[in-house]
Each structure stands twice: as C-alpha cells, then as structure tokens.
Chain A
C-alpha cells in the first residue's frame, strides 16, 4: 500500500498497527466480524435456497412424465364457469376428435390422515385417478402392483403408496396387503411406488394413489375433479393435442369464440415458466433480505470504526505529534476496517457454503458461485467505503485538537 503521504513507512508496519488496534479490543472486533459474517452468509445461503427451490420445481415438473398436458380450472369465472368433471376427462379420449391424445386421467386430490396400526400420518395428498395416471406421470411400481381399470369400475378400496408415505406408516416393513384407515375409511395397500427423488417444495414421493371411484365414494364426493392429466401421443403432437383439448372442452363448456375459457391447458414447459417466474420473485426477495443484512453489517463496521476512532483520538494526536502523516493514520484505520470486513467475509463464505450443505425447509440449497464473489467483494468494499469516513475524520485532525480530546 503506497501511502500517498508517506512512501517511506512500510506496508507491513501499517498492517501491524492495524492488527494491534484490532487485538486491543477483541470482543468488539469479534462482534463486528460476526455482523459481517452473518450478512455474507445470509446472502450466500438465501440465494442458494432460492436457486435450490427453482431447481427442485424444475425437477418435480420434469418428474411429472413426458408429453403431459395439465388441464385445470381457470379461476374467477363466476357462476357461468363449469367445473372439470370425469365426463370431461372421458370426452378427451376420442380417436376422431382428439387423435393426438393418448390417455386422459381425471385427478381428484385431498389431504387425508392415514392410520395403520398405532401409526398416524398426515398424507399431503391422496390422489384419486384411473390406471392411465401411472404411465402418464412416470410412476413405476417398486413392490406389489398398481390398481386396474377393474378396480376403478368396482370402486375397490385399494391403495398404492408413495415411498415416503410407506416409510412413514410402516417404517421399513412391507406394507403390501396391510390395511390403512384414510380418514377412518379402510383401504388395502396393494403396492408401493418407486422413488422419484425428493424434489423440495412438493415431495412427489409423499403421496397415496387410489381408484378415482373409491376416493370419490368415500372421501371427496362425486363433484368436480381437480385436474385432468393428459398424455399426448408424442412430443411433436403436444400442441396439436393442446388445440384438440381446448376445442373439445370449449364445446362441452359452451365457451364462445370470443370468450375466455374457464379452463387452462398447460404443458410442462408452460407450467415450468409460470412456476419459475414465481421462484425468481422468491429468490429476489430472499436476496434483498440478505443484502439488507449485509448493509446492516456494513453500518456495524462504520459504527465500530467511529467508536474506535473517537475512543482513540488522543492516541491519534500522540501519533501525529511524533510525526505520523495523514496517510499513515488513514492507512491504519482503513486497514483495520478492511481486515474486519475481509475476515468477517471469509467466515461468512465458509458459514454460507457449509450451511448450504443442509436441507432447509425441504429445499436442497444450490450454491451460486456468483453470490460468493458478490458477497465477499461487497463485504471488502463495505470495509473500505464505510471505514473511510471515520478514518478520514481521524486522520485530518490537527495534533493538538486530537490531544485535547478527552
């Protein structure tokens, strides 16, 4: 560091002054370091959580299956809006009107409390659907079997468990053949699905799937369905299938050409796009919270430097009286502030990266390298920027002014 005022004072000496200054008040230096550390760690961690969330959403939507279109209600259409029904789903399987639709599964879903033996577990979603759902949603069986069209026609109370649900209820024992009470209705477990991998916000493995009729009969009633999952014949026929679905449902729901339909047909990419926008907002929100905490850490450094400088004005006076230049004094205090910030920043990077190894609220954080450089760089700049004001003030004092200070 070539001090403008004093090229002959060695950088090492300035560094030693700064270290001695910091060591003189270890508790205070430690707390300031902690402030910066928390700020930097928060930036890295929260950005990692945000990007982990979007990654998991992408993964879960990809896990939905291939060539899948989701039909759901478009909200807020008033009394004219019609719900989606099982008949709507059936109408979509039409070789003439919809040649590009391969399969169509009505889906009802509801959270239930499952009880088996002494164990009770709240399943976030019990899905009632038809057997096509399994192939459409890429769900393969791990043990036992899946239910059949027969089971649906007879409304048999059979149940296929997601691996997470099976683990929660049976703790490793084989559930196939066991009885499970879903909101006090008895179901028989006939199969367990393979894991799709835990994917953060919505765990696709934390589910239970039963025949549509059985779920409607005992739990949800025969009203509307929540959504219709449609598989197109191939990836290339997706948009054709989308148009066919729209045409059929518009006719059934009596939607005129100039009206907005009361349903929505979305492909995975479109779903992905809407969800991604949501998580981007989420990430930006997290990042701003983190940025604020970094700023607060910076104000902490300024505050500490102000206190340090004020407390040591006499010392500054002594140093100037024996020949310290403005540059050397400035260098000493700037170095102190920068060391605090750099040290806190380095600890914060370590804490942020280590913290990102853990699963937080079901999200596996993904560390964004850019956030590390940004947070570390900002913390170093904070030291220089916020340290320069108090340091500059201290360095500009006339020796006698400083010495008279008490």
Chain B
C-alpha cells in the first residue's frame, strides 16, 4: 500500500526579521491510503499551517511534500489547481460557501472547474447532497441554511469530485453537538468507503472517531498514536 501523504522536514516561516514566526519546524508525516487521522494541539501550534500545505493552499518554506508519490513542489500553478480539484476535498471551520449561490450550485462548482458536463454535474451534485442528507435544501442560499447545514453543503462540495483525501480544519468548531454528530457521521461513512481523512480538532470525542491521532506542539509533531493498526504500517 502506498502513502497518500508523505512530508519530510517541512518548515513554514511567516514574515521576516522581527515579526518572523516559525509555524512549522521540521514536520515529518506519512498518511496511508484509507486512514482516518486526527490532528490535535494547542491553538497556534501550527495545525492549520500544516493542513493548508497538505491541501496545496499554501507552500512550505522548506521541506518536501509528496502527494500520491508526486512532489508537489515541482507542480506549476495549473497543475496545482488540478490537484486541488481532483485529489483534495477541503473543509473549513467557517464553511466558506460561495455567497448568494444555491447549495446545489455550490456543490456543482468543483465539477464545473473539472469540466464536467451539465447533466452529469447535476446528477453528481444531487447525489452528494443526498449523501449529506440535504437533498431537500438544494435550492437554498447559504444565508438560508443553519451552520450545520452549511457545513454539510461544504462537505458535499468537498466530496463531489470523489477526491482520494478529505482535509478538514476544525469542521465542527462552530457547530452544536447535534450538527457535530451529523457532520461526523458523514466523515465516518466517507472513511468506510475508503477515503483518506485528515481532520483538525480540539475535542477528544471528535478525535475519538479517528483511528490515529497526531499531536502538534510548537510546529512539531510530538505524539503519534494509533488506536488500532488498520494497516500495520505505522512508524
């Protein structure tokens, strides 16, 4: 089995001179296909910075990141867009739906950028909304949906292209316990059908759903625990 994510000696520095912040100080991490990984750590420890690099939303200052065996550092702007579109589904704490645009259109958006035809697109977007239990809300604009519903639309958008991995930065951070359970249930289902999931969370009961927990402190991974050996290939 191949690693989906393989990062070595990852460094990320923000700013220069006096305002310099070392957000990542040499992170090594391997994530295998089909894993469900929770990243925990204090606020400001560098979790989001790491996930943004993994999601190709940001570039590291130093170190290498191999995604499905491809060194992301070698990719050009256009190839990076393709990777974001096809291989990664990213879920944000603040939902980040396109405003004034219906749930269905939001979910269709990645498929438009993938060049999928209209009919096929509609079919797949509806299916994704069904999977998150929001088929009946497809015409609603983001401001007509609750936080939990918005996050599930965002989740549908992340999984509609069928990405190998879903990255989520505190996806339940803004949600009440009921919505949290609904969203986590979707992640569980995704993981069961073989998708790799990397999720940042503050809450132990959320992290409890994941098979493996990585703890970040001050820009470094300080703990990496597995509840059970799904692949038996952990370091």
Q: Enumerate chain A interface residues (CB-CB to B < 8 A).
A: 5-6, 8-10, 13, 20, 24, 314-315, 317-328, 398-400, 403
Complex partner residue of B96 from A20, A398, A403, CB under 8 angstroms: A403
Closest B residue to A21 by beta carbon equals: B100
By the criterion CB–CB under 8 Å, are A6 and B84 in contact? no
What are 22 sample pairs from A and B whose C-beta atoms fall under 8 A apart? A5-B81, A6-B81, A6-B113, A8-B114, A9-B113, A314-B96, A315-B98, A317-B96, A319-B113, A320-B81, A321-B57, A321-B84, A321-B90, A322-B85, A322-B113, A323-B84, A323-B161, A325-B77, A325-B113, A327-B78, A399-B57, A403-B92
Complex: how many Å from CA A222 to CA B109? 90
Residues of chain A contacted by B114 (CB below 8 angstroms): 8, 323
Residues of chain A contacted by B113 (CB below 8 angstroms): 6, 9, 319, 322-325, 328
Closest B residue to A326 by beta carbon equals: B77
| Total of A-B residue pairs, C-beta within 8 Å | 75
Q: Enumerate chain B interface residues (CB-CB to A < 8 A).
A: 52, 55-59, 77-78, 81-82, 84-86, 90, 92, 96-101, 109-110, 112-115, 157-158, 161
By the criterion CB–CB under 8 Å, are A398 and B59 in contact? yes
Residues of chain A contacted by B92 (CB below 8 angstroms): 403
Complex: how many Å from CA A317 to CA B84? 12
Q: A315-B98, A319-B98, A321-B90 are in contact. Are A326 and B78 (CB under 8 A)?
A: yes
Residues of chain B contacted by A321 (CB below 8 angstroms): 55, 57, 84, 90, 96
Where chain A touches its partner, the secondary structure class is: helix
Q: B4 CB to closest chain A CB, in angstroms?
A: 18
Closest B residue to A315 by beta carbon equals: B98
Residues of chain B contacted by A5 (CB below 8 angstroms): 77-78, 81
Complex: how many Å from CA A106 to CA B223? 113
Q: B87 CB to closest chain A CB, in angstroms?
A: 10
Interface centre among A8, A10, A319, A322 (most CB of B within 10 A): A322
Q: A20-B101, A322-B157, A325-B113 are in contact. Are A400 and B52 (CB under 8 A)?
A: yes
Residues of chain A contacted by B86 (CB below 8 angstroms): 323
Closest A residue to B77 by beta carbon equals: A326
Residues of chain A contacted by B110 (CB below 8 angstroms): 322-323
Q: B1 CB to closest chain A CB, in angstroms?
A: 26
By the criterion CB–CB under 8 Å, are A323 and B81 in contact? yes
By the criterion CB–CB under 8 Å, are A326 and B81 in contact? yes
Q: A328 CB to closest chain B CB, in angstroms?
A: 6
Complex partner residue of A8 from B52, B98, B115, CB under 8 angstroms: B115
Complex: how many Å from CA A326 to CA B158? 20
Complex: how many Å from CA A6 to CA B59? 22
Task: Given contact pairs A315-B99, A321-B96, enumerate 9 new A-B contacts (beta carbons under 8 Å).
Answer: A6-B81, A9-B112, A315-B98, A321-B55, A322-B84, A323-B82, A323-B161, A324-B113, A325-B82
By the criterion CB–CB under 8 Å, are A403 and B57 in contact? yes
Closest A residue to B59 by beta carbon equals: A398
Residues of chain B contacted by A327 (CB below 8 angstroms): 78
Residues of chain B contacted by A325 (CB below 8 angstroms): 77-78, 81-82, 113
Complex: how many Å from CA A124 to CA B180? 88
By the criterion CB–CB under 8 Å, are B57 and A400 in contact? yes
Q: A20-B101, A323-B85, A326-B81 are in contact. Are A400 and B115 (CB under 8 A)?
A: no
Residues of chain A contacted by B112 (CB below 8 angstroms): 9, 13
Residues of chain A contacted by B98 (CB below 8 angstroms): 315, 318-319
Complex: how many Å from CA A5 to CA B76? 11
Residues of chain B contacted by A318 (CB below 8 angstroms): 96-98
By the criterion CB–CB under 8 Å, are A398 and B84 in contact? no
Residues of chain A contacted by B109 (CB below 8 angstroms): 319, 322
Residues of chain B contacted by A322 (CB below 8 angstroms): 84-85, 90, 109-110, 113, 157-158
Residues of chain A contacted by B100 (CB below 8 angstroms): 24
The 8 closest A-B pairs by CB, nearest first: A323-B85, A8-B115, A325-B81, A400-B57, A399-B57, A400-B58, A323-B113, A322-B110
Complex: how many Å from CA A325 to CA B96? 18
By the criterion CB–CB under 8 Å, are A399 and B115 in contact? no
Q: B108 CB to closest chain A CB, in angstroms?
A: 10
Interface centre among B59, B82, B100, B113 (most CB of A within 10 A): B113
Complex: how many Å from CA A324 to CA B114? 8
Residues of chain A contacted by B157 (CB below 8 angstroms): 322
Q: B156 CB to closest chain A CB, in angstroms?
A: 12
Q: B107 CB to closest chain A CB, in angstroms?
A: 10
Complex: how many Å from CA A318 to CA B153? 14
Q: B44 CB to closest chain A CB, in angstroms?
A: 15
Complex partner residue of B115 from A10, A20, A317, A326, CB under 8 angstroms: A10
Residues of chain A contacted by B56 (CB below 8 angstroms): 399
Q: B74 CB to closest chain A CB, in angstroms?
A: 17
Interface centre among A5, A319, A325 (most CB of B within 10 A): A325
Closest A residue to B58 by beta carbon equals: A400
Q: B114 CB to closest chain A CB, in angstroms?
A: 7
Q: B109 CB to closest chain A CB, in angstroms?
A: 6
Residues of chain B contacted by A399 (CB below 8 angstroms): 56-58, 84
Closest B residue to A24 by beta carbon equals: B100
Q: B68 CB to closest chain A CB, in angstroms?
A: 16
Closest B residue to A10 by beta carbon equals: B115
Residues of chain B contacted by A324 (CB below 8 angstroms): 81, 113
Closest A residue to B100 by beta carbon equals: A24
Complex: how many Å from CA A322 to CA B114? 10
Complex: how many Å from CA A24 to CA B157? 22
Closest A residue to B55 by beta carbon equals: A321
Complex: how many Å from CA A20 to CA B141? 14
Residues of chain A contacted by B77 (CB below 8 angstroms): 5, 325-326
Closest B residue to A322 by beta carbon equals: B110
Residues of chain B contacted by A13 (CB below 8 angstroms): 112
Closest A residue to B78 by beta carbon equals: A5
Residues of chain B contacted by A314 (CB below 8 angstroms): 96
